[in-house]
Structure 1
Amino acid sequence: MRLSRTSKALGMFAVASIALTACGTSSTPGADSSAAGDKSKVIIADGSEPQNPLMPANTNEVGGGKVIDMIFAGLVSYDANGKPVNELAESIEGKDGQHFTIKIKKDQKFTNGEAITAKSFVDSWNFGAAAKNAQLSASFFESIKGYDEASAEGSKVETMSGLKVVDDQTFTVELTQPESDWPLRLGYTAFVPVPAEALKDPKTYGEKPVGNGPYKLADGGWQHNVQIQLVPNPDYNGPRKAQNAGVTFKIYQSDDSAYQDLLADNLDVLQTIPTSALKNFKTDLPDRFIEKPYAGNQTIAIPEYLPEWSGEAGKLRRQAISMAINRDEITKVIFNGARQPAKDFTAPVLDGYSDSIPGSDNLKFNAEKAKELWAKADAISKWDANKTFTIAYNADKGGHKTWVEAVVNQVKSTLGIKIEGKPYATFKELRADATAKTMTGGLRAGWQADYPSLYNFLGPIYQTGAGSNDANYANPTFDKAISDGLTSATVADGNNAMNKAQEILLNDLPAVPLWYQVAQGGWSNKVSHVDYGWDGVPLYYAITGK
């Protein structure tokens, strides 16, 4: 990404210094397109059923997100270390952090032959933002002038005034205020262009999406709840050129089944080792595993639309739940020390992270304080002793049952309330209820970064009305704090502002932070050049056969 900017817009979240340490024997090719290996092999990887048809601006979960990342190319993509690299962008220039001129490369096309122009981007972004289209990632466009008018409930406005087409290769963007991290966001999938047919009939299009990335959907490629087959896009000429003959995401109903397939060489890449195998996977896969921290965390979101979790009493109860959880014990016993107890809402690999933000004591195990807080809540609004507090989790991916049961036992032992895990058969089903705001208790949540910044762990999840705001949290003071932070003059000032905003979250606890994530995955004897990116996702395009 080429940026020409004044000192005020040096990039508060200019590419984070992400510290990634690998174990095992990942071949670590990153995006080395010259790497040797069998490029005729189709890579079999584990996946999960996407929540929705595959429209980029309407996908905010990992099952669909992995596929969209591979079949679309945006203005920029991120390399293995989280650094933005031009993909469709010829240049992105701005003088004041508020006004940008974006030039795209010539002769770019979708796989249906339609030309990709400046209008493609402007139309796609306007579609993503407009209220009538109800896209889950609409809030990613909130910085653009005119978003408020286009996104207002019931609005008939379908375009943002801050977007202007100059010519086929050029468009301009005006933000409502200077925001130094805005260009860094442009690698997120909400900002990719989609063809005209997608805007006319997004539901039908989303079943057989046409993109422009390193891969494309194979004919009949999405077999719901079975697999998603991708084949290389021969016309793609960006930095993520496929080094294999395709990637097939096999949809498993449990990670344990996927692990057994991996051991039998029937699965080539398993993104996450199941909890049940954490003690043995390094022995099972002596030179075929990876373990390194990434920009991700695990939380329990507790919706404030539930009466017992709203207001002052709800806040006290959330604090009590948090202090009733012994994170040190769970991360040591269940995760073999491969997780780090959370001390904030972001991740240690990000620039600006702090483990000593005021309010972080609410994330420390303190049984007596937890009981005291629960009693204070009861004094305001008595908890129904016959009510069972549930923590929902998906049973198909992630091995969540084990740690959820541990949390349940700890909270029950400390607070003496009825509490239990609530399994959903699939991640898709859990996300459907979370999105519809029909949860009856808490839910396992968390975040895998879209781009490397502290703000990405705060705004899209906890701002009022944000698409991933599972807790239905709304605090104008927090909203203003992070908005003001985006205008900071320096990197240090910006990070300090985001951490000041976190003080509000650590008091309100719309979600209960648990631990920071670590990429622990493995691969078969049939593949090589396996590495994971800064966001914990395998670099599928770089994997080859042996």
Structure 2
Amino acid sequence: MPAATPRVRWVLAAATSVALVASGCGSSGGGGSSSSDATKTFSYQSSEPQNPLQPANANEVGGGRIIQNLFRGLVDYNPSNAEIRMQVAESIDTSDAQNFTVTLKTGWTFHDGTPVLAKNFVDAWNWAATTTNNQINSSWFSDIQGYKDVHPENGAPTTTKMSGLVVVDDTHFTIKLNNKVSYFEYKLGYPAFSPLPDSFYSDPAGFGQKPIGNGPYQFVSWDHNSQVVTKAYADYKGVDPAKNGGIVFKMYTTAEAAYADLQSNNLDVMDQVPPSALATYKTDLGDRAIDAPQGAIQNIGFTLYQPEWAGADKAKVRQGLSMAIDRNTITTTVLQGSRKPATAWVAEGVQGYDAAACGDVCKFDPAKAKQLITEGGGVPGGSIKITYNADGGHKEWVDAVCNSIRQATGVECAGDPKTDFKTARAAITGHTINGAFRTGWVQDYPLNVNFLADVYRTGAASNDFGYSSPQFDQLANQADQAATLQDTITGYQQAEKVLAQDVPAIPLWYYRTNSGYSTNVQNVEFDSFGNPAWTQVEVKG
């Protein structure tokens, strides 16, 4: 999921058990010593959602983190170890990784009191996949048989129902995929696969402003560019009922303002502390400081949909720009050692991570950088701008990256700040920028597939670059149909090598969660997705 500050999760019933190495969480050692009040809310640093709050219409953290608390799908991830766990699903059975039978638990209800039934999943997925509904995550359903009928490459859909989805009865439905997909269960935890109540279809736009979910938290209000208020849902049937009264997602225009509020107890939990506080936040916050592993990466993407960047020779220019960035110095100084230089397009700790994937392209070499840029015909226009969101604490490192490029190659480089994350994302997805842009990715599921197929495959929901490589797509498709999960992972490692040739995005560094919380809360732990264990946060009485 594209991330605001580096972003909308899952026992396998009949398939494979996998050891997940990206499964750390961090907290202070002092939580839990004070009494708590389960009726009180806590506040969290957020950003204005890019789109209405519809489950298939958020692939950034501003909307995604809200949606993942308002809704629950078939499965999600245990925040303590990142293992798949059942939520609405009682079981998901398959013998061939292509045909699946889903059995639902009984007793689940939406926040309007209506039951969560098999048709609520099937109808929601069909609606999300259909072209005319313009859902940003529609491609997540492309594995399902009949997707191309509801989402054709050209022209209008011939139907609004995928043939691969069949409701058997209220608690059972079947899924048939186009081909075997060994990791399909992992994908089912993504918020786009959430169910929708019957009332959604009469007014999808209105629903997006006042969503009705089935998750641990119920929507209360949305004051745009200020906050989204939720409350705990008393009849929630999931395995993770809330230990607090709700979450207030507070929108901030700068990370510095959020940090100031945290220090004065006007904000309870941060997303990430700003770079300006990295050197001091552990001293400032003491045992309330968070330093935890996170399956996330920071990149610089390119506008390959523009003719001047699309030529084969410009791959050399992008390689050269990557080799002009002194990652070691920037992560050590500007980022205070809180990040680790990236050597791949997959985050460290994720299954399938190949530390050598980027090779020389991620090594600082000013002479080679200058040579490659010259061989590639130079940077289009003679200079480059890096678009970023000004509310995310990115200015310092963007300026440092530009200084490194300028000093190493003589190419002029400057940051192009947009007011907030929503504005930056709108410019990126709307293709209204030129050259380069900051883009982060936080795992949606802890496999290299998520960092590769869901970002670099032609037409993928988060392929903001316009990147299209027949070679990458062929290797990815072969990997998807592999007999085992391990074969799939290995296949995607081969696909990743294509990115080292084309460099649609420059890997910069891997994230950690550097955060903290106020004196108002306790039992605050972060998972490898960069999220707090929302329902486990306790508000002191």
1:498 alignment counterpart: 492
Partner Cα distance (1:384, 1:53) in 2: 36
CA contact (8 A) 1:93 1:102 kept: yes
Aligned positions of 1:276-287 closer than 5 A: 276-287=276-287
Alignment of 1:510 onto 2:507: no
| Structure 1 stretch displaced more, 481-490 or 362-371 | 481-490
Alignment of 1:165 onto 2:167: yes
Partner Cα distance (2:28, 2:352) in 1: 28
CA contact (8 A) 1:2 1:93 kept: no
Partner Cα distance (2:307, 2:351) in 1: 37
Aligned positions of 1:509-528 closer than 5 A: 509-528=503-522
TM-score for both structures, normalised by structure 1 = 0.93
Deviation per residue, 1:164-191 (Å, 9 max, x gap): 1111111000011111100111111000
2:432 alignment counterpart: 438
Partner Cα distance (1:16, 1:150) in 2: 35
| Structure 1 stretch displaced more, 68-77 or 492-501 | 492-501
Deviation per residue, 1:22-60 (Å, 9 max, x gap): 37437499xxxxx96332321011111000110110110
Partner Cα distance (1:27, 1:486) in 2: 43
CA contact (8 A) 1:343 1:355 kept: yes
Q: Which AA in structure 1 matches 2:411?
A: I
Aligned positions of 1:323-402 closer than 5 A: 323-357=323-357, 359-378=358-377, 383=379, 387-397=382-392, 399-402=393-396
| Structure 1 stretch displaced more, 17-26 or 325-334 | 17-26
| Structure 1 stretch displaced more, 149-158 or 137-146 | 149-158
Deviation per residue, 1:434-473 (Å, 9 max, x gap): 1112222211002111111110111111111111111110
Deviation at 1:15, TM superposition (A): 5.5
1:177 alignment counterpart: 179
Deviation at 1:486, TM superposition (A): 2.1
Partner Cα distance (1:293, 1:342) in 2: 15
2:7 alignment counterpart: none
Partner Cα distance (2:471, 2:380) in 1: 31
CA contact (8 A) 2:27 2:525 kept: no
Q: Which AA in structure 2 matches 1:313?
A: D
1:489 alignment counterpart: 483
Q: Helix, strand or coil: the match of 1:18?
A: coil
Q: Helix, strand or coil: the match of 2:286?
A: coil
Aligned positions of 1:28-43 closer than 5 A: 37-43=36-42
Partner Cα distance (1:388, 1:371) in 2: 14
CA contact (8 A) 1:94 1:101 kept: yes
Deviation at 1:493, TM superposition (A): 2.4
Aligned partner of 1:530 among 514, 524, 535:
524
Deviation at 1:93, TM superposition (A): 0.3
- Relative to structure 1, is the Cα distance of residues 97 and 26 closer, same or farther in structure 2, using a 3 angstrom cutoff? farther
Structure 1, unaligned runs of 5 or more: 30-34
Aligned partner of 1:404 among 391, 398, 409:
398
- Relative to structure 1, is the Cα distance of residues 315 and 429 closer, same or farther in structure 2, using a 3 angstrom cutoff? same
Deviation at 1:10, TM superposition (A): 3.5
Q: Helix, strand or coil: the match of 1:396?
A: helix
Q: Which AA in structure 2 matches 1:392?
A: T
Deviation at 1:242, TM superposition (A): 0.9
Partner Cα distance (1:131, 1:207) in 2: 21
Q: Which AA in structure 2 matches 1:262?
A: L
Deviation at 1:350, TM superposition (A): 1.2
Q: Which AA in structure 1 matches 2:126?
A: N
Alignment of 1:247 onto 2:247: yes
CA contact (8 A) 1:27 1:531 kept: no
Partner Cα distance (2:486, 2:66) in 1: 35
Alignment of 1:155 onto 2:171: no
- Relative to structure 1, is the Cα distance of residues 384 and 195 closer, same or farther in structure 2, using a 3 angstrom cutoff? closer
Deviation at 1:19, TM superposition (A): 4.6
Aligned positions of 1:110-259 closer than 5 A: 110-152=110-152, 153-156=154-157, 157-218=159-220, 221-259=221-259
Partner Cα distance (1:334, 1:293) in 2: 19
Deviation per residue, 1:410-437 (Å, 9 max, x gap): 1111221221100000100111111112
Q: Helix, strand or coil: the match of 1:312?
A: coil
Q: Which AA in structure 2 matches 1:45?
A: Y
Alignment of 1:455 onto 2:455: no
- Relative to structure 1, is the Cα distance of residues 383 and 74 closer, same or farther in structure 2, using a 3 angstrom cutoff? closer
Deviation at 1:247, TM superposition (A): 0.9
Partner Cα distance (1:322, 1:270) in 2: 31
Deviation per residue, 1:329-356 (Å, 9 max, x gap): 1110111212111111111121221212
CA contact (8 A) 1:326 1:365 kept: yes
Partner Cα distance (1:252, 1:10) in 2: 42
Q: Helix, strand or coil: the match of 1:187?
A: coil
- Relative to structure 1, is the Cα distance of residues 271 and 231 closer, same or farther in structure 2, using a 3 angstrom cutoff? same
CA contact (8 A) 1:101 1:170 kept: yes
Q: Which AA in structure 2 matches 1:442?
A: A
1:18 alignment counterpart: 22
- Relative to structure 1, is the Cα distance of residues 28 and 172 closer, same or farther in structure 2, using a 3 angstrom cutoff? farther
Partner Cα distance (1:364, 1:383) in 2: 19
CA contact (8 A) 1:2 1:92 kept: no
CA contact (8 A) 1:4 1:95 kept: no
- Relative to structure 1, is the Cα distance of residues 314 and 264 closer, same or farther in structure 2, using a 3 angstrom cutoff? same
Partner Cα distance (1:424, 1:233) in 2: 36
Q: Which AA in structure 2 matches 1:42?
A: T
Q: Which AA in structure 2 matches 1:103?
A: T
CA contact (8 A) 2:229 2:249 kept: yes
Q: Which AA in structure 2 matches 1:474?
A: S
Deviation at 1:200, TM superposition (A): 3.4
Partner Cα distance (1:27, 1:470) in 2: 41
Deviation at 1:497, TM superposition (A): 1.1
CA contact (8 A) 2:27 2:523 kept: no
- Relative to structure 1, is the Cα distance of residues 425 and 39 closer, same or farther in structure 2, using a 3 angstrom cutoff? same
- Relative to structure 1, is the Cα distance of residues 224 and 23 closer, same or farther in structure 2, using a 3 angstrom cutoff? closer
2:5 alignment counterpart: none
Q: Which AA in structure 2 matches 1:538?
A: P
- Relative to structure 1, is the Cα distance of residues 466 and 295 closer, same or farther in structure 2, using a 3 angstrom cutoff? same
Q: Which AA in structure 2 matches 1:424?
A: K
Structure 2, unaligned runs of 5 or more: 1-9
| Structure 1 stretch displaced more, 20-29 or 367-376 | 20-29
- Relative to structure 1, is the Cα distance of residues 90 and 150 closer, same or farther in structure 2, using a 3 angstrom cutoff? same
CA contact (8 A) 1:58 1:136 kept: yes
Partner Cα distance (1:491, 1:408) in 2: 40
Partner Cα distance (2:23, 2:249) in 1: 29
Partner Cα distance (1:15, 1:71) in 2: 29
Alignment of 1:303 onto 2:297: no
Deviation at 1:488, TM superposition (A): 2.4
Partner Cα distance (1:493, 1:383) in 2: 39
Partner Cα distance (1:468, 1:113) in 2: 34
Would you say how many aligned residue pairs link Structure 1 and Structure 2? 528
Q: Helix, strand or coil: the match of 1:516?
A: strand
2:413 alignment counterpart: 419
CA contact (8 A) 1:10 1:489 kept: no
